[in-house]
C-alpha cells in the first residue's frame, strides 16, 4: 500500500561518458557452426563411406552371381523337371512350358547353345554339328520338344503316364549328355 501512494517518477539515465564515437561499431559477427577444415573432413568421410558401401554391394552381387554359376546345370535342370512334374499336376500346358524351359536352360547354361530365345525348330537347327549330340539324342530331343509344343500350342492333354514319360525322357537326355561330357576327355589321350 505504501508504494502505491508514492508519486510516479521516471528514472533518469546518466549521460554517457566522453569517449570515441560509435560510428564505427558494427553488428554482431556470425560465426559458422563448422570450420572449413571440419567440413572437408566430413565430406572426405562421407565419400569413403559411400565408396565402401558401393564396393560392398558390388562384391555381394558378384559372389551371388558366382554362387549361382557354380551350381551344376544338369542337377539344376533335373530339379526343375521334377518340380514341374510335382507342382503342375492339373495344368498340362504349364507342365509342358516348364519342362521345355528346364531342358532349354540346361542347354543354354550347361552346353553354351542358345536355346531360350528360339523356337523348337531354330533350337534343333542350332544343334547341328554339335559333337555331343548323336542321332539318337537328337531324335529323342526332337520328340520331347514336339510333344511339349503340341501341349503348349495345340492344347493337347497329357495323362499321368505321359507326364512321367516326358520327365523321364528329359532326365535321360540330360544324363546322356553328361555321360558324353565325361567320356570325351577319356577318349582324348596324349601320345
- Within-domain flag for 99: yes
**Together in a domain, 55 and 95:** no
- Within-domain flag for 96: yes
Mean residue pLDDT of the chain comes to: 81
Residue pair 113/127 in contact by the 8 Å Cβ criterion: yes
**Together in a domain, 102 and 51:** no
**Together in a domain, 168 and 155:** yes
- Within-domain flag for 15: no
Residue pair 59/148 in contact by the 8 Å Cβ criterion: no
Q: What angle do CA 52, 53, 58 make, to 5 degrees?
A: 95
- Within-domain flag for 28: no
**Together in a domain, 45 and 97:** no
- Within-domain flag for 57: yes
**Together in a domain, 97 and 165:** yes
pLDDT at 141: 85
* Mean pLDDT along residues 12-19: 77
**Together in a domain, 50 and 130:** no
- Within-domain flag for 5: no
Kindly report the pTM of this predicted structure.
0.56
**Together in a domain, 110 and 90:** yes
Give 107-149 pLDDT, tens digit per residue: 888 777 788 888 888 888 888 777 777 778 888 888 888 988 8
pLDDT over 50 (residue 83): yes
**Together in a domain, 98 and 154:** yes
**Together in a domain, 132 and 61:** no
Give 153-180 pLDDT, tens digit per residue: 888 888 888 888 888 988 888 888 777 6
**Together in a domain, 98 and 131:** yes
- Within-domain flag for 2: no
Domain residue limits at 78: 73-184
Q: How far apart are CA 98 and CA 151, in angstroms?
A: 12
**Together in a domain, 43 and 99:** no
Question: What's the structural domain count of the chain?
Answer: 2
* Residue 84, number of CB atoms within 10 A of its CB: 22
**Together in a domain, 147 and 176:** yes
- Within-domain flag for 146: yes
104 contact partners, CB below 8 Å, separation of at least 6:
115, 116, 123
Amino acid at each position: 500500500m505504501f508504494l502505491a501512494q508514492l508519486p510516479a517518477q521516471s528514472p533518469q539515465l546518466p549521460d554517457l561518458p566522453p569517449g570515441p564515437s560509435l560510428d564505427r561499431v558494427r553488428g554482431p559477427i556470425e560465426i559458422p557452426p563448422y570450420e572449413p577444415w571440419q567440413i572437408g573432413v566430413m565430406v572426405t568421410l562421407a565419400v569413403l563411406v559411400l565408396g565402401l558401401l558401393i564396393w560392398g554391394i558390388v562384391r555381394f552381387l558378384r559372389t551371388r552371381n558366382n554362387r549361382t554359376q557354380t551350381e551344376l546345370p544338369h542337377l539344376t535342370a533335373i530339379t526343375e523337371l521334377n518340380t514341374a512334374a510335382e507342382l503342375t499336376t492339373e495344368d498340362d500346358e504349364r507342365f509342358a512350358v516348364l519342362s521345355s524351359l528346364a531342358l532349354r536352360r540346361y542347354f543354354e547354361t550347361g552346353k553354351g547353345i542358345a536355346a531360350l530365345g528360339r523356337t523348337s525348330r531354330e533350337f534343333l537347327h542350332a544343334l547341328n554339328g554339335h559333337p555331343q549330340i548323336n542321332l539318337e539324342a537328337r531324335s529323342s530331343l526332337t520328340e520331347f520338344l514336339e510333344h511339349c509344343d503340341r501341349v503348349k500350342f495345340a492344347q493337347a492333354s497329357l495323362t499321368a503316364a505321359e507326364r512321367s514319360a516326358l520327365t523321364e525322357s528329359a532326365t535321360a537326355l540330360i544324363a546322356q549328355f553328361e555321360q558324353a561330357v565325361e567320356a570325351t576327355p577319356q577318349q582324348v589321350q596324349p601320345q
